[in-house]
């Protein structure tokens, strides 16, 4: 059957319940990224796709087209990203951002991919700006920050200018679409190791399927409290993706020596408030925020170590997480995490000058 390469054919096919091939999905997203899709075409496409339900092949095609259109980030793919889909509407402190700093202080190269807040009061870029990072750097300078400090931030709106063509239509639709979970799949560094929190359980098979199809290593997780994080309030379901296999785990904090927390203990505020929480936590403050940051750091370290040595999957995940928790605690308590944050801030300012 010939591939479809026109909007009437694409829309008719979706409305009839037929799934798009990778090539057809890539064609459609290329049109969107280039601004060649009209608002009516894009709106119809997003709604019809949601009604039908997206497939792994479709999301693979969308991801490929988005990365094809992205500004290049000249770094090795031998990096870790710790990120969440957003959308849990809880408004926690910036857990994955803190975990990224601790992971980098542990010696893992991190390219944190993120954006402004969508469903919370402080997204990753909001809190990083409040901490004093300069987020206006050109791609080559973003790469230089990684070389200097072992961590850098890829601002999604800067690296994916094609997203602007979908912004108005998405806002007018006012419903979740495939764009709501594409971000964690589209790190311009094409990170080989990933720790990804997912708020919507039905999106997990799509996200794990994309990582498996593209040969990446990932820990994908969702807290039973609905958080797109490794939670400390109860159980977390974890899907471990490596070498084309997916292994599912149930993680319960007391099994790792962590006390259970209350969700209220993890709630944040505006960027200035959350930036202060970052400072206190990385300086060694004890409590529920430290515990959840260490658990999410551990997920990132386990993912990166699995990427470097796929035989790690043969070891019990609780054993691997326990080791990583200890490593994260050591870099916080030694002052290395705070020092890493300061070095990151300084590098962005120096390169912006």
Q: H helices of 250-316, where?
A: 271-282, 288-308
Which residue ranges make up the annotated binding site?
A: 84, 87-88, 92, 94-97, 112-120, 124, 170, 228-229
Pairing of the two strands 80-84 and 193-197: parallel
If 0-12 CB within 10 Å is exposed, 13-18 middle and 19+ buried, where does residue 202 land? exposed
DSSP 338: H
Residues sharing a CB contact under 8 Å with residue 295, sequence separation 6 or more, in sequence order: 230, 231, 232, 253, 256, 258, 321, 325
- Full-model pTM: 0.94
Which residue ranges make up the annotated binding site for Mg(2+)?
A: 96, 228-229
Domain made up of 80-159+173-352: CATH architecture: 3-Layer(aba) Sandwich (3.40)
For residue 86, the model assigns a pLDDT of 78
Per-residue pLDDT of the chain (353 residues; tens, 9 = 90+): 567 789 999 999 999 999 999 999 999 999 999 999 999 999 999 999 999 999 999 999 999 999 999 999 999 889 999 999 877 677 899 999 999 999 999 999 999 998 775 545 678 899 999 999 999 999 999 999 999 999 999 998 899 999 999 989 998 998 888 998 898 999 999 999 999 999 999 999 999 999 999 999 999 999 999 999 999 999 999 999 999 999 999 999 999 999 999 999 999 999 999 999 999 999 999 999 999 999 999 999 999 999 999 999 999 999 999 999 999 999 999 999 999 999 999 999 999 98
For residue 158, the model assigns a pLDDT of 92
For residue 32, the model assigns a pLDDT of 97
What gap in Å lies between CA 210 and CA 295, rounded to an integer? Answer: 24
Query: Whose structure tokens read 């471990």?
Result: 240
- Number of C-alpha atoms within 13 angstroms, CB side, residue 254? 4
DSSP 199: S
Please report, for residues 36, 75, 186, the alpha-carbon distance to residue 81 in angstroms, rounded to integers and kept in the order given. 31, 13, 11
What gap in Å lies between CA 66 and CA 58, rounded to an integer? Answer: 12
| Bridge partners for 242 per DSSP | 245
Pairing of the two strands 217-223 and 110-114: unpaired
CA 43 to chain centre: 25
For residue 283, the model assigns a pLDDT of 98
Which residue ranges make up the annotated binding site for anthranilate?
A: 84, 115, 170
How is the chain split into domains, by residue range? Answer: 7-69, 80-159+173-352
For residue 90, the model assigns a pLDDT of 78
Which residue ranges make up the annotated binding site for 5-phospho-alpha-D-ribose 1-diphosphate?
A: 84, 87-88, 92, 94-97, 112-120, 124
| In CATH, 7-69 is 1.10.1060.10 | no
What gap in Å lies between CA 198 and CA 316, rounded to an integer? Answer: 23
For residue 51, the model assigns a pLDDT of 95
């Amino acid at each position: 059957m010939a591939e479809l390469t026109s909007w009437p054919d694409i829309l008719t096919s979706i409305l009839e319940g037929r799934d798009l091939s990778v090539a057809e999905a890539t064609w459609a997203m290329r049109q969107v990224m280039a601004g060649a899709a009209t608002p009516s075409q894009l709106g119809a496409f997003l709604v019809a796709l949601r009604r039908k339900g997206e497939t792994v092949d479709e999301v693979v095609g969308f991801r490929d087209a988005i990365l094809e259109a992205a500004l290049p980030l000249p770094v090795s793919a031998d990096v870790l990203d710790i990120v969440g889909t957003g959308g849990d509407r809880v408004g926690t402190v910036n857990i994955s951002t803190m975990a990224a700093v601790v992971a980098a202080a542990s010696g893992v190269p991190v390219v944190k991919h993120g954006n402004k807040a969508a469903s919370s009061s402080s997204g990753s870029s909001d809190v990083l700006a409040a901490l004093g990072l300069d987020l206006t750097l050109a791609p080559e300078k973003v790469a230089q920050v990684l070389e200097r400090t072992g961590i850098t931030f890829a601002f999604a709106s800067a690296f994916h200018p094609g997203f602007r063509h979908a912004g108005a239509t998405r806002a007018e639709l006012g419903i979740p679409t495939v764009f709501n979970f594409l971000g964690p799949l589209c790190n311009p560094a094409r990170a080989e190791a990933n720790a990804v929190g997912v708020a919507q359980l039905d999106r997990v098979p799509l996200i794990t399927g994309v990582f498996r199809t593209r040969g990446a290593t990932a820990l994908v997780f969702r807290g039973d409290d609905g958080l797109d994080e490794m939670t400390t309030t109860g159980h977390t379901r974890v899907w471990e993706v490596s070498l084309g296999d997916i292994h599912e785990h149930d993680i319960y904090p007391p099994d790792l020596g962590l006390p259970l927390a209350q969700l209220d203990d993890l709630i944040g505020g505006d960027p200035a408030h959350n930036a202060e929480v970052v400072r206190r936590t990385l300086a060694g403050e004890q409590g529920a925020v430290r515990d959840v940051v260490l658990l999410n750091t551990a997920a990132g370290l386990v993912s990166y170590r699995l990427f470097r040595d796929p035989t790690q999957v043969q070891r019990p995940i609780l054993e691997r997480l326990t080791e990583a928790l200890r490593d994260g605690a050591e870099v916080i308590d030694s002052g290395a995490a705070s020092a890493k944050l300061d070095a990151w801030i300084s590098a962005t300012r120096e390169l912006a000058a």
